Structure 1
């Protein structure tokens, strides 16, 4: 037994049946200590655990009940302070803090200082402003403290310090029926009020329990071994703990791991799930790590992203949410919900969730109806922003409490506890807070709360590894102890003064207010007591390299001190200590058994056996398939892994398939992309993604401008007028505004600034269009003329062909096309030209690029279609399309026009036959140029650079005859 347990045993032996109260910081602490005493073979009866707060409630409980006073939850204190700050700033009563906004950071710093003042029983009335380095600062803190006291009184609240102060007042009249013996560990740093209360109750019946101490010149007592190691990063440091336990066959419930840094809690918690072992954490884990915590975090991210469906989809797929249909009996699966949201085309924006209702009515989907019902009810609960962009924070918290309660999938006891803690905290804030803030501020505030909220605290349990802060290590009596995180940055850390109450001010205010140097000494003392109390095996470690920040870390001075003690040599320095450690522990398990599959693969790799095909292929068939593809791509001839398929018989396909010009141009751009899109029919998800810098994507912008230009030209032609800037500028702007408003409803802009910028660009494009039209000599005749799209489209447009056009390939085959001609103009008697609007850049439409290797054949195909349409519209005449081309009526296109004279249709037939030959031979190899890759949807599929490099090698190898049609295609400039 250590000295603390020995002292307890002596008291229990001296007073075996008398009532004894062990006063410790928490009930859990006392339970662990009493249990450890029993495990050491010491019997005891009538020994109860108490805390200062528990004692205070025993004394003041009736007083509080009679006056309907409730205790202020610790998580709510900073919200009370920030509300007081905001109120005082609005009234102009602050002078020192008047230039600083009432932020979470300022409120947190002030809250910590105010609580320290109250723990020393310093009141607002007793605080003297002149004791501060600035009297204005002192006056402000005095005022804030007085307002805090007034707030508690007005709301019938009492914080822990207030409860202790009240109990101290009532203790003189508090009579206990029995003589009670009080036991108190000597090393606990009690606050002045706590110490006053304990002394007032215990009097002469207080036994102070001494503990082991770590002497400068004496080695640690009671340890069979003391060892050290260092590691690459926190995770490897913790993995080494588990490796040593596994190698030594040490049961988990014989081990305590103490940490100095909160990062170790989340890392160990993650390892416990990965490696499936039991873990208890004395201080509990962050609510962020639980299902309800992740749900709240996801909801906050969703709200903060302007209700982006992308964020909501991630939350749905996480498995932390549950959405029930049929009155809560049938669950909508995450993938069903994601598919519904994508198909509804919401994207982002609270108002756009109305599209889900439209989708539900259109599709009659039962799951969509239930999802819509759930999401609409959630959105309606959230408060609306006022004209200044603020929301009532209390209402926001109450709504979030309901949402978390409704949506969280509870997977175990920890989630159940976390759900209770989180929702009660949110409800508490909702009842207290009258703050108004922006959505972003509210989200940030609650994110901070969630980070600091702990749940699931537990003492050591059978069969489970115990994790504890070094501050609570002294209570545990397990025989194996690992202390991790002993780098100089983590322990003892740097000496920092409180930013609100400086040390010089603390000395003047109250002689028991802790100074920064006292806090550092308290850390060192606590660690020394903890280490001195250990019995059995002790292992001390630190991360010598931070893998996140990519920097070296140095050991804490404490490690050198212990090393000197172990070697009985006070002259040893850090170089001696570091050389004794050897190589740092890394990702490989070395000679030990691997903990998991990852470590096993690392060991295999280290042994040089990773690239034995049987090892990998036996475990991962997909990797084996990938290796087969890599090997095939090294061959001189293209294989199926390059897109080379068996030859195809297109005779039947040509008779049934109707092409569009864009399909043929797509094939000419990259056969492999064509194969994925049109043969395998692999389509990228059509998701509307939030981009804070962009409203409309190029395709949508082009569709909008096409509609504007078409409507405008139809109206001008119906009036029998020619486009004119002065006469038609307002008309064109009105048409554009109508289309812009329509798209604004369909796709909400990310911000007013982005919206206005793009609207101005659209208006500028309209101006470019109208200016160019004034200079055009041709007579606009028909607009948005369909062919091959059926009679309904022809009726809607007023002209066109219901059937597709058919082009004779002069080898017994025909190829059919469909499409929509943007406009047909008349340039003379029975002489016409065909135009297609392009709203992008004219860079790729050079004067010498008539077909551009098959990537620009629309003008030639549409010229043929236009002639057939004109013959139908003007029976008995012989209309000819002399020119076809492209108009660039936008700011980027600068109003340019690219004209192609319609001639040599035999060359078009040969080009089409070449493209069909590529399909017939099944040679869907990627383009060797890579010029289309930047705009391609399939970069992740083909590997882009690797595919282009491979295609170049095959293209340049003239022995590869399968690519001859592709080589010929490059000649059609």
Structure 2
């Protein structure tokens, strides 16, 4: 910067009173140059800065009689999106006919059109023959033509048109002295405008040279005026380079350690934060890491390129809102939004947990219309319950519940009227208005950053609304809105006093801070790939000319910019890279410029990459930035350390957890951490507590995995049951199974009670269609195609059922349907054990048939596949007890003689099951073995020794994996625990497994 400051000082001293205007690429550059100048305690009168765009705008406004509306980039991209969608629908595209019109593609096309127009091309002078294929050229031409028509229709001009107009006004009459930034980034039209606009005598600010690389070619206005060299001008010129104290380097294992090491260096240097600047080669992951460090440790940081809006509450709110609409207003998605801490409900709202419970209990599932209707049904049910109560306290409770439900109903009624319905085609403007309304009224903000992010989103939506008249497919629209709103960046800032500044190295050429840190100098991030732009290839750029930059030169341009940053720096420069990619689990190599820096610092001109592997790369930062660094350092220390007991006392949960882990995964004995509890037998043993009823399902769960039974039946832990929106299915397996059960029950019940004589297939199909229509009202399908597919499957199951029943009914007559005991007010069945004790049983038997010889046959419908069922495995290690349990229950409940239930069957009247029947003869062997299994299982409960299943296949569809964590056990270690001879309950369980 010394050459630049010296030249600027000379100009200011020579022309003290004249207005001096610096022409810069960005306002931030002008601000940095002025800051560097004034830091030297130099005085400047009438020294300002402007961009080329602002010069052109001033010139046009001076001569124009009408207000000038330069199209915003976001609106220009919207125009291109509309153009592409229309051309695609009309079949007018040729080269791009197979491309999906999405936001990303549209934005890329917009950038290409902007590049072409700034290079001086329009629909009038762009020849399709300049492209590699004429089809591509013709597509570009008609896209450009339609874009220009939209600009004209809405009375806008773009930047290209602004420069064309401003150029016509000739040389400025201003008496200002113009000073050009070296290496200006100018397009063809910008350069043409400056040639016409600038008077003779304009000056140029110098840059320090860099040696040893080929300098990219520049035109006169974009050229570089060279100043004197600095020690870091020779990084790539090792022949003349000397070891430099200004440059240092380090490596780190992860990006987080890399950043924390820099904070440690700043701390040890005892410099102020605003004397330091950090440049990155790629924003990801440094943005995230720096932001979280700044928030967690209250470090004042400014971000030159801003931060992703997803870091803010408004960003998370809009993301959650779009997910909710996309999921057809699924309750589970709304609950995620509700508990995300970003939704402001308003005054008088019930607690989040109460609202969650209400929504789940109301069985809404999804669809915006069902929130109000289902909650109103719940209110009606609560009113009925209240009227039946005589207890005043319970009536008051129901009143409170009703008021809470009414508040939620009113809230959703208003909001659902504002939100769009999920349709195949959705209107862009209506959806944007809904997001705008929800942002204004219900987005929770907790900081100035949140307020700024909210205002930014509202501003972007406001820019688009006048031009968002189109309707798009729902997936297309959501992808567009997510790309538009969630790709925004906020909190862009120039360096501020008292703040550490973080930005891209591309924005660092004119900084004035003494200590420079450059992170991310690995060969993946720098100098970057020189991939071609597929929409405008380098060969096409050469044909088009007009200073269009070639993508093959981008790597060289990046290297030149980095070396300029080295040379321009006024103090120390520290470079670093991360050695390991934790996401891809692989080692990362440094960039070549890092090696050159190493050679310069060490004086080893012949050093190679192999030498860099010897550099230290600690696994934990040297300076403790947060408490995690302390523990990381302890773990990385090669010496074992005894942690002071007083320290451990502050982390009791860690101590308890460590003890539990040792007992679970270290000890060979079966312990309380593996499922051994001091059980209250009077409460949980069904032989002693006659109010404790068992079911076949609970007993099968106990036999499959006693630990699962313990979690659900002893601890009372239940998986959350909620209907999850799935655009590719309508009914979940449980609901589908219940529907088929009802169809089969009503089919037989009505035929028997009303003596129906019509065609049985016609009759069951009509029953099915009626019940399907009822189910559709209760739970609307996600779309018509999914609905039709699932209806076809349900009807196919009904046809299989009738066809198989024709053969079955030659020997059987249906006697009972959905026979219930122990639930819904029915007395339980009492099962007498061989020991003389008894247990109470509850359940519901799908069907009981009477055979012609007077014996009974029990049928249990299974609506899945026949997987896990076999003819020669009646008990399957205790996992299939229903056939035997139901045989005992029906005999006891109907007061039938023992053994009259001759057989039980699992019947699979489905497409997957192919009408299979797995029949279990209820002979003496089955009954004897069944009683032995039953007593062993009850002994497991009584012992309080609830081991985990010995077969990991039982865990495949278990919903309690996160609680149980069986997968943390080594299989052999778990087997040793289950063989512990000191526990009777374990032996009893092993006996159950002996039965096939």
State the TM bucket, normalised to the shorter chain: 0.7 to 0.9
Distance in 1, matches of 2:402 and 2:427, equals 36
Conserved 8 A contact 1:185-1:208: yes
1:825 to 849, 853, 857: 849
Distance in 1, matches of 2:695 and 2:134, equals 81
Deviations 1:71-93 (A, max 9, x none): 21112222212322333455565
Distance in 2, matches of 1:135 and 1:909, equals 84
1:925 alignment partner in structure 2: 947
Identify if the C-alpha distance between structure 1 residues 374 and 24 changes in structure 2 by more than 3 Å, giving closer, same or farther: farther
Q: How does 1:861-940 map to 2 (within 5 A)?
A: 861-867=885-891, 869-870=893-894, 881-891=900-910, 892-893=912-913, 894-901=915-922, 912-929=934-951, 932-940=954-962
Matched, 1:602 2:602: no
Identify if the C-alpha distance between structure 1 residues 42 and 343 changes in structure 2 by more than 3 Å, giving closer, same or farther: farther
Conserved 8 A contact 2:831-2:892: no
2:814 alignment partner in structure 1: 780
1:214 to 200, 210, 213: 210
SS of residue paired to 1:49: strand
Deviates more, 1:702-711 or 1:283-292: 283-292
SS of residue paired to 2:956: helix
Conserved 8 A contact 1:227-1:538: yes
SS of residue paired to 2:816: strand
1:535 to 554, 570, 573: 570
1:839 to 863, 866, 879: 863
Deviations 1:513-535 (A, max 9, x none): 33335655543443333221101
Deviations 1:252-271 (A, max 9, x none): 21111112223133343233
SS of residue paired to 2:508: helix
2:434 to 389, 393, 399: 399
Distance in 2, matches of 1:124 and 1:907, equals 88
Deviations 1:340-370 (A, max 9, x none): 4433334444555456534653555555545
1:625 to 643, 651, 656: 656
SS of residue paired to 2:690: helix
Shift of 1:138: 3.8
Shift of 1:231: 3.6
1:684 to 719, 733, 748: 719
1:283 to 301, 305, 317: 305
Q: How does 1:209-358 map to 2 (within 5 A)?
A: 209-216=205-212, 220=231, 224-263=245-284, 264-319=286-341, 321-324=342-345, 328-330=346-348, 334-350=352-368, 352-353=370-371, 356-358=374-376
Shift of 1:869: 4.8
Distance in 2, matches of 1:92 and 1:901, equals 70
Identify if the C-alpha distance between structure 1 residues 706 and 519 changes in structure 2 by more than 3 Å, giving closer, same or farther: closer
2:976 alignment partner in structure 1: 953
Distance in 1, matches of 2:933 and 2:990, equals 12
2:149 alignment partner in structure 1: 150
1:184 alignment partner in structure 2: 180
Distance in 2, matches of 1:372 and 1:248, equals 61
Conserved 8 A contact 2:909-2:916: yes
Distance in 1, matches of 2:710 and 2:46, equals 82
Shift of 1:39: 1.9
SS of residue paired to 1:825: strand
Conserved 8 A contact 1:859-1:900: no
Identify if the C-alpha distance between structure 1 residues 821 and 384 changes in structure 2 by more than 3 Å, giving closer, same or farther: closer
Shift of 1:329: 2.8
Identify if the C-alpha distance between structure 1 residues 752 and 586 changes in structure 2 by more than 3 Å, giving closer, same or farther: farther
SS of residue paired to 1:43: coil
Aligned length: 940
1:942 alignment partner in structure 2: 964
Matched, 1:659 2:694: yes
Distance in 1, matches of 2:974 and 2:592, equals 61
Distance in 2, matches of 1:216 and 1:347, equals 67
TM-score by length of 1: 0.87
Distance in 1, matches of 2:448 and 2:978, equals 63
2:514 alignment partner in structure 1: 479
SS of residue paired to 1:654: coil
Shift of 1:964: 4.3
Deviations 1:759-796 (A, max 9, x none): 343333323322332223122222122223355xxxxx
SS of residue paired to 2:629: helix
Deviates more, 1:828-837 or 1:638-647: 828-837
Q: How does 1:788-799 map to 2 (within 5 A)?
A: 788-789=822-823
1:795 alignment partner in structure 2: none
Q: How does 1:511-522 map to 2 (within 5 A)?
A: 511-516=546-551, 519-522=554-557
SS of residue paired to 2:503: strand
1:731 alignment partner in structure 2: 763
1:194 alignment partner in structure 2: 190
Shift of 1:621: 2.7
Identify if the C-alpha distance between structure 1 residues 308 and 540 changes in structure 2 by more than 3 Å, giving closer, same or farther: same
Q: How does 1:344-423 map to 2 (within 5 A)?
A: 344-350=362-368, 352-353=370-371, 356-358=374-376, 361=379, 362=381, 364=401, 366=403, 368-375=405-412, 377-384=414-421, 389-423=424-458
Shift of 1:409: 1.8
Shift of 1:192: 3.8
2:12 alignment partner in structure 1: 12
Shift of 1:728: 0.3
Distance in 1, matches of 2:146 and 2:861, equals 68
Shift of 1:304: 3.3
Deviations 1:164-187 (A, max 9, x none): 333333465x755xx323322222
Distance in 2, matches of 1:846 and 1:495, equals 62
Q: What is the root-mean-square deviation in Å for CA atoms of aligned residues?
A: 3.6
Identify if the C-alpha distance between structure 1 residues 331 and 461 changes in structure 2 by more than 3 Å, giving closer, same or farther: farther
Identify if the C-alpha distance between structure 1 residues 512 and 330 changes in structure 2 by more than 3 Å, giving closer, same or farther: same
Q: Which runs of 5+ in 2 are unaligned?
A: 214-228, 234-243, 383-400
Conserved 8 A contact 1:219-1:562: no
SS of residue paired to 1:122: coil
Conserved 8 A contact 2:277-2:500: yes
Distance in 1, matches of 2:962 and 2:884, equals 33
Conserved 8 A contact 1:393-1:434: yes
Conserved 8 A contact 1:20-1:48: yes
Distance in 2, matches of 1:230 and 1:487, equals 10
SS of residue paired to 2:146: helix
Conserved 8 A contact 1:487-1:543: yes
Distance in 1, matches of 2:149 and 2:692, equals 81
Deviates more, 1:214-223 or 1:510-519: 214-223
2:989 alignment partner in structure 1: 966
Identify if the C-alpha distance between structure 1 residues 741 and 964 changes in structure 2 by more than 3 Å, giving closer, same or farther: same
Identify if the C-alpha distance between structure 1 residues 293 and 962 changes in structure 2 by more than 3 Å, giving closer, same or farther: closer
Distance in 1, matches of 2:977 and 2:185, equals 77
SS of residue paired to 2:278: strand
Matched, 1:585 2:581: no
Matched, 1:73 2:94: no
Deviations 1:573-605 (A, max 9, x none): 5x535515633635322xx22322332222101
Shift of 1:440: 1.5
Distance in 1, matches of 2:553 and 2:990, equals 81
Deviates more, 1:597-606 or 1:956-965: 956-965
Distance in 2, matches of 1:910 and 1:561, equals 80
Distance in 2, matches of 1:960 and 1:421, equals 66
Distance in 2, matches of 1:30 and 1:499, equals 34
Shift of 1:375: 4.7
Identify if the C-alpha distance between structure 1 residues 28 and 763 changes in structure 2 by more than 3 Å, giving closer, same or farther: same
Shift of 1:477: 0.4
Distance in 1, matches of 2:558 and 2:571, equals 23
Q: How does 1:91-102 map to 2 (within 5 A)?
A: 95-98=94-97, 100=99, 102=101
